[in-house]
């Protein structure tokens, strides 16, 4: 069973704080993703990574950065949290290769920035 875990289920931070969201997967997946989910907007891709040390911008990378030092771990960093970054953050992983589009998601982190 693929398992994707996220470090926190709920997080409350103040404006301007640096925020770290951690994601770990245990199935040796090459691909890892960070999304945010907002009502009426679905899941929007922030960053993704196809390998260790590699990262690619998604559709909404502004205000975020990522780190992938180990294959199983993908971190999302909010350099200076703002209230418009209040959202549900979802991490996912998948195998590479054509046809392997199924992504396995973690339970999500509900981040509130006050």
Partner 1 sequence: DQQVKQNSPSLSVQEGRISILNCDYTNSMFDYFLWYKKYPAEGPTFLISISSIKDKNEDGRFTVFLNKSAKHLSLHIVPSQPGDSAVYFCAASGKTSYDKVIFGPGTSLSVIP
By the rule CB under 8 A, 94 interacts with partner 1: yes
Binding mask 37-66 for partner 1 (x = CB under 8 A): ---xxxxxx--x-x-------xx-------
Separation CA 91–CA 62 (nearest Å): 17
CB of 95 to partner 1, least distance (A): 8
The nearer residue to partner 1, 14 or 26, going by C-beta atoms, is 26
The nearer residue to partner 1, 85 or 89, going by C-beta atoms, is 89
For 12, residues 6+ apart whose C-beta sits below 8 A from its C-beta are 111, 112, 113, 114
The DSSP string of 93-112 is EE--STT----EE---EEEE
Separation CA 24–CA 82 (nearest Å): 25
By the rule CB under 8 A, 106 interacts with partner 1: yes
**Residue ranges binding partner 1 (CB under 8 A):** 4, 9, 31, 35, 40-45, 48, 50, 58-59, 90, 92, 94, 96-108
């Amino acid at each position: 069973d693929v398992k994707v875990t996220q470090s926190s289920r709920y997080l409350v931070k103040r404006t301007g704080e640096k925020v770290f969201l951690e994601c770990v997967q245990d199935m040796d997946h090459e691909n890892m993703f960070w999304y945010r989910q907002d009502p009426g907007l679905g899941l929007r891709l922030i960053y993704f990574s196809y390998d260790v040390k590699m990262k690619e911008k998604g559709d909404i990378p502004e205000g975020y950065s990522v780190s992938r030092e180990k294959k199983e771990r993908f971190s999302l960093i909010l350099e200076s949290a703002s209230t418009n970054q209040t959202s549900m953050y979802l991490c996912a992983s998948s195998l590479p290769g054509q046809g392997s589009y199924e992504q396995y998601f973690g339970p999500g982190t509900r981040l509130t920035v006050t």
